[in-house]
Structure 1
Amino acid sequence: MNATARFALPLLHAGQAQKELFHNEALLIADMLMQPCVEALGRAAPPADPVAGQCWIVGDSPEGAWAGSAGALALWTEGGWRFVAPREGMAVWVAGDELVARHVAGAWHAGRLAAAQLVIDGEQVVGPREPAIDEPDGGSVVDAEARAAIEAILQALRAHGLIDGG
């Protein structure tokens, strides 16, 4: 085995010449993957003047030095570009958008959150989606203003996905 299973970090071997090269390469990649932060998500071409330590997520149709690295994290180092293929569930901070991007089902998704519930200060404020609620109908007295308000509330709840569309 010459590399780690998850991120292909180079491994050292007994009697290996120039071990520092392999060790330094592993450190560069580990540095990229530790609390990853990228400048932008989905660029096709590398920037003209990158700074060592800057990282990007390569777009679907990469060009130039990024050709063949679609979807990968691209890190600029003093020795050139380093690429790491993402793993399922990997999350990165996209500095330019101020969003978290997560790699799911072979693609990057920015700004999506997945949770069973939203808890703030120990209290659940949003939980699983509830079933549909019927529009107001019938009754012995029709209050048009109340009915309009109820319908507006239902539309807002549906628009936010908190109840089913029915």
Structure 2
Amino acid sequence: MTDTPSLTLPLLQPAQAQKHVTVNEALVRLDGLTQLRLKSRQLTEPPATGVVDGDCYAVAAGAQGDWVGQAGRVAIGSNGGWVFAQPLAGWRAWIEDEYSSAVFLNGAWSTDWLAGTDSGAASRIEVIGAEHVVAAGSAQNTTLMIPKDSMVFACSARVTETLTGGLSSWSLGTPATQGQFGAGMGVAAGSYCTGLLSQPMTFYAETAVRLTPTGGTFGGGKLRLALHCYRISLPG
């Protein structure tokens, strides 16, 4: 055996020369894979910013360049290049650009996973965020969409830039139900909507989150939105 079975750390061999090279490679892998933090799982080739020692990426399908042939593996920046490790079922990681935890199952990283089966069926709690720049005028759909086949618990919001115009307050809902997530919220920066529903509601089609002014129209402003929902993955 030349490598350890789980982390594929290289083992020293009898009478091996330059033992420090093997030891250092093992330490690089161990440093990267312990408390694993993935910069991203979206890239098919190394980042344009170059190699940063210790940075880890989940190599996406269709890998190119220095990552060709490494799809599905973890790329670890090391000494100006890359070393690779094959994740095993049950490994967990923090994905930095998604601000989510993930577990490696059925050959892929799955975020917000609660429970599942070996067929790929899974339950997930998700929080989907969006920034919305308010357009001048009346009611408008925001940039936040409720995914199809999702059970929604809440849609929260915070005013990050004062809402201008003639309005006295605003409501948050959907095209079908104007104030479904809240009404009468203030227009000043820092005003917020908790958006909790009295009982979860399932949306079977993709639905826009809609912003409606009260007592006037919008002139401008910005909001930060977050949808809190439950979703499933079907068995394969």
Equivalent-residue separation in structure 2 for 1:23 and 1:11 (angstroms): 8
Q: Normalising by structure 2, report the TM-score.
A: 0.49
Shift of 1:158: 9.1
In structure 2, the gaps of 5 or more residues are 117-196, 205-228, 231-236
Structure with greater contact order relative to length (CA < 8 Å, sep ≥ 6): 2
Per-residue deviation, 1:88? 0.5
Which residue in 1 is equivalent to 2:42? 42
Partner of 1:101: 102
Aligned to 2:32: 32
Q: CA deviation at 1:156?
A: 2.3
RMSD: 2.5
Runs of 4+ in 1 over 6 A off after TM superposition: 152-155, 157-161
What does residue 18 of structure 2 align with? 18
**Residue correspondences, number:** 126
- Structure with the larger helix share: 1
Distance of aligned partners of 1:19 and 1:38 in 2 relative to their CA distance in 1, 3 Å threshold: same
Which structure: larger Rg?
A: 1
Q: How many angstroms apart in 2 are the aligned matches of 1:13 and 1:74? A: 25
Residue 118 of structure 1 is matched in structure 2 by: none
User: Cα offset for 1:114?
Assistant: 2.5
Matched, 1:156 2:201: yes
- Structure 1 alignment gaps of length 5 or more: 116-151, 162-166
Query: Which residue does the alignment assign to 1:9?
Result: 9
Q: Which TM-score applies when normalising by structure 1?
A: 0.68
The alpha-carbon distance between structure 1 residues 97 and 27, as it changes in their structure 2 partners (threshold 3 A), is same
Matched, 1:83 2:84: yes
Distance 1:34 1:26 in 2: 12
Q: Is the Cα contact below 8 Å between 1:42 and 1:71 reproduced in 2?
A: no
Deviation string, structure 1 residues 36-59 (Cα, Å, up to 9, x no partner) = 101111311111223221111100
Higher strand share: 2
Separation (CA, whole Å) in 2 of partners of 1:154 and 1:95: 32
